[in-house]
Amino acid sequence: MGRLFGTDGVRGVANADLTAELALGLSVAAAHVLAEAGTFEGHKPVAVVGRDPRASGEFLEAAVVAGLASAGVDVLRVGVLPTPAVAYLTGALGADLGVMLSASHNPMPDNGIKFFARGGHKLADELEDRIESVYDEHRTGAPWDRPTGAGVGRVREYDEGFDQYVAHLIAVLPNRLDGLKIVLDEAHGAAARVSPEAFARAGAEVITIGAQPDGLNINDGCGSTHLDLIKAAVLDHGADLGIAHDGDADRCLAVDHQGNEVDGDQILAVLALALREADRLRKNTVVGTVMSNLGFKLAMEREGIDLVQTGVGDRYVLESMKEHGYALGGEQSGHVIILDHATTGDGTLTGLMLAARIAATGRSLAELSAVMERLPQVLINVRDVDRSRVESSTELSAAVAEAEAELGTTGRVLLRPSGTEPVVRVMVEAADIDHARSVASRLADVVKSALG
């Protein structure tokens, strides 16, 4: 069996790849593995379980809850809340485990399972590997050791989670947002209630779009993967800025008052300067990934801020931050981690902090984000190819080397299999957009021929 866990939990088409049986089995396996690791020692374990509004989340949540309770874990069901809210509540409530049902920015038919360890941190790779191994052992016949009687887990609704999370967001803001008019695009997702409430409590005038989830419309033409709606809304309402989330609100992209996109790299640049000014940018360092725009790297060099780059995936950004004690990190996609206040990417928190910087300085988002100039960057997702052969293909290696030689020091090439989708990503940066497109297109053709 291929590895179930990707860079961000287990994902697939709900009821096809990700079935109720798989969700139940993985939940039981997680309970047993964490028990083996001593996480539950001396007490009855407790898990926090939340989901985004996808229709499939209803039956998958039921399966996860059933699996955990059957393994002797008490369950607090927090309902529809963002992924970072589930992570926060896992830590704040002293729970032993957190589970989020979401496929983030993926289309509605997909869903996923993310596990959080005690404290609200993503599980280590070795624990995920062990969960998968234990699940596979029992899937092929070995019976589970099941508690009975009073040993089974109890399940209850935990409705207080909404207010607890919003109160936390407001408490960590450095200043209020009075006087700002902000458009929020909630992607018909998990933050449809939380984000507008938090921004309004912080003092902003809030206009919402994409905030009517019906279980079927998540990420559908809206949110951080489709910015046309929020760009138009910002201009129509004369707003100071727009904030767009994805389905589970662990990421945030922005739009300035002129309708221009402000991506994760630019947001990181703005927040890095804000934290340094407040003497909270530990070790004068921000963490990005190998996908960070070259313009971001150049801006940090100019501002005298060190940049550490990791592999793609917010889990790797977080690992570097925790290992070295850094305060800020993130990805171009809008996953931003502010480690003093969150254990994972938090789109609502990021948006609030960005808006707070605008309110505090009196400068527009366009002015603030001009700290960096984005070099033209072309990304092509090549589908229906064998991702496992990216590293071993000599044809592909030769094509990449030729492209790098052509670009020289004015650009770069990055080619990698996605950890969350069945695609190979081809990214090319160059001083000229047409040159970047030409090189990216050639490389995408080679990927298709070499790996198809």
The answer to whether residues 296 and 307 touch, using CB atoms and an 8 Å cutoff, is yes
The answer to whether residues 161 and 85 touch, using CB atoms and an 8 Å cutoff, is yes
Are 151 and 173 in a shared domain? no
How many angstroms separate the Cα of 409 from the Cα of each of 294, 399, 434? 11, 17, 17
Residues for the chain: how many in total? Answer: 452
pLDDT of 344: 93
Last residue of a domain, one of 327, 347, 369: 369
Averaged pLDDT, 411-428 = 85
- Min mean pLDDT across 81-90, 97-106, 223-232, 396-405 is at 396-405
Residue 445 marked as a ligand binder: no
The one-character DSSP state at 163 is H
Residue 104 marked as a ligand binder: yes
- Block residue for tokens 């079935």: 19
The answer to whether residues 354 and 360 touch, using CB atoms and an 8 Å cutoff, is no
Are 78 and 187 in a shared domain? no
Last residue of a domain, one of 342, 369, 396: 369
How many Cβ atoms from other residues are within 10 Å of residue 178's Cβ?
A: 10
Q: What is the CATH number of the domain that holds 445?
A: 3.30.310.50
pLDDT of 420: 66
Residue 386 marked as a ligand binder: no
- The average confidence (pLDDT) of the chain is 94
CA–CA dist 254, 364 (Å, integer): 12
Strand, helix or coil for residue 216 = coil
Percent of the chain with pLDDT over 90: 81
Secondary structure E strands in 191-315: 205-209, 241-245, 252-256, 261-262, 285-289, 306-310
CA–CA dist 221, 129 (Å, integer): 35
Last residue of a domain, one of 341, 369, 397: 369
The answer to whether residues 57 and 216 touch, using CB atoms and an 8 Å cutoff, is no
CA–CA dist 133, 136 (Å, integer): 5
CA–CA dist 76, 154 (Å, integer): 9
Are 278 and 381 in a shared domain? no
Percent of the chain with pLDDT over 70: 99
Strand order in the sheet with 412-417: 377-383, 423-429, 412-417
How are beta strands 328-330 and 285-289 bridged, if at all? parallel
Is residue 311 over pLDDT 60? yes
The answer to whether residues 246 and 347 touch, using CB atoms and an 8 Å cutoff, is yes
Are 137 and 217 in a shared domain? no
Residues 6+ apart with CB under 8 A from 141: none
Residue 248 marked as a ligand binder: yes
- Confidence tier at 1 by pLDDT (50, 70, 90): very low
pLDDT of 440: 95
pLDDT of 30: 96
Active-site annotation holds for 104: yes
Exposure on the CB side of residue 38, measured as CA atoms within 13 A: 0
Pull the structure tokens for residue 378: 């072309």
Are 243 and 100 in a shared domain? no
What is the residue range of 302's domain?
163-369
Exposure on the CB side of residue 85, measured as CA atoms within 13 A: 33
Are 447 and 346 in a shared domain? no
Pull the structure tokens for residue 329: 């990190």
Are 45 and 144 in a shared domain? yes
Averaged pLDDT, 34-60 = 94
Q: Which of 27, 56, 102, 104 is catalytic?
A: 104
Is residue 312 over pLDDT 90? no
Single-letter residue type at 99: V
Is residue 77 over pLDDT 50? yes
Are 325 and 186 in a shared domain? yes
How are beta strands 181-185 and 241-245 bridged, if at all? parallel
- Record the pTM: 0.89
**pLDDT tens track for 106-123:** 999 999 999 999 999 988
pLDDT of 2: 55
Are 387 and 240 in a shared domain? no
Are 227 and 258 in a shared domain? yes
Are 170 and 317 in a shared domain? yes
Averaged pLDDT, 54-78 = 98
CA–CA dist 253, 38 (Å, integer): 39
How many angstroms separate the Cα of 132 from the Cα of each of 6, 317, 419? 12, 23, 17
Q: What is the CATH number of the domain that holds 181?
A: 3.40.120.10
Are 136 and 179 in a shared domain? no
Strand, helix or coil for residue 220 = coil
The answer to whether residues 35 and 134 touch, using CB atoms and an 8 Å cutoff, is no
**pLDDT tens track for 182-224:** 999 999 999 999 999 999 999 999 999 999 999 999 999 999 9
**pLDDT tens track for 120-161:** 998 888 999 999 999 998 887 778 889 999 999 999 999 999
Pull the structure tokens for residue 405: 């030689």
**How many structural domains are present in the chain?**
3
CA–CA dist 180, 161 (Å, integer): 27
pLDDT of 391: 84
